[in-house]
């Protein structure tokens, strides 16, 4: 009974999260850079390399564009963008046709691109941990909220569209 009451309250307000998802990405990246400052583990020799800088920038820009497209799609659909706001519908157009989490895919792309430009392996080694924490503490809560709110329509969407790519 208590769980049902909590689920209904969260449904009216949005899924909420124990911490902001972008903070998780920032913390993982900054921890990697901090470790790198003590134990440098570079991807390539220290001299600037136009190819890797351009590749990192392209990945980061592509990720930022995907993130923005996901937010814009939610805004046009007039549904909750922030996790404290209630969702009004299952969005399945725009980037949500290919991934249930385009904003998080965009964050992963940004993170990886900036790690390439920073020439540090440590943030890349921490990225899987960031993704696991994101999946367990953020995405699982979001999916539970969406299932409680939209039931079969969300389940049908999940059958059609992958969580990541």
pLDDT value for 7 = 42
CATH of domain 2-160: 1.20.120
Among the ranges given (8-22, 39-53, 97-111), the one the predictor scored with the smallest mean pLDDT: 8-22
Confidence class for position 71, pLDDT limits 50, 70, 90: very high
How many other CB atoms sit within 10 Å of the CB of residue 111?
24
Instruction: Indicate the pLDDT class of residue 1, thresholds 50, 70 and 90.
Output: very low
Q: What is the pLDDT of residues 2-39, one digit of tens each?
A: 333 344 444 457 787 878 899 999 999 999 999 999 99
DSSP H stretches of helix in 14-165? 21-38, 50-77, 102-118, 121-134, 140-150, 152-160
CB 92 within 8 A of CB 128: no
For residue 138, name the pLDDT band (cuts at 50, 70, 90): very high
Q: What is the pLDDT of residue 12?
A: 53
Q: What tokens does 63 get?
A: 């990720």
User: How far is residue 28's CA from residue 59's CA, in Å, rounded to a whole number?
Assistant: 18
Q: 84 to each of 13, 56, 65, 96, 99, how far by Cα in Å? A: 6, 32, 23, 20, 21
The pLDDT score that the predictor gives to residue 62 is 98
Q: Residue 137, exposed/middle/buried by CB under 10 A (0-12, 13-18, 19+)?
A: middle
What does pLDDT average to over the chain? Answer: 89
């Amino acid at each position: 009974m208590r769980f049902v009451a909590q689920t209904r309250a969260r449904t009216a307000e949005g899924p909420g999260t124990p911490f902001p998802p972008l903070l998780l990405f920032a913390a993982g990246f900054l921890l990697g850079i901090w470790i790198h400052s003590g134990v440098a583990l570079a991807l390539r020799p220290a001299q600037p390399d136009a190819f890797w800088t351009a590749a990192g920038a392209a990945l980061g820009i592509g990720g930022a564009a995907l993130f923005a497209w996901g937010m814009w799609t939610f805004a046009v659909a007039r549904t909750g963008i922030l996790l404290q706001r209630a969702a009004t519908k299952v969005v399945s157009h725009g980037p949500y046709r290919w991934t249930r989490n385009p904003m998080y895919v965009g964050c992963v792309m940004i993170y990886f691109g900036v790690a390439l430009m920073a020439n540090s392996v440590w943030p890349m080694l921490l990225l899987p941990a960031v993704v696991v924490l994101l999946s367990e503490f953020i995405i699982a809560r979001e999916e539970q909220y969406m299932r409680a709110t939209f039931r079969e329509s969300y389940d049908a969407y999940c059958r059609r569209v992958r969580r990541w790519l």
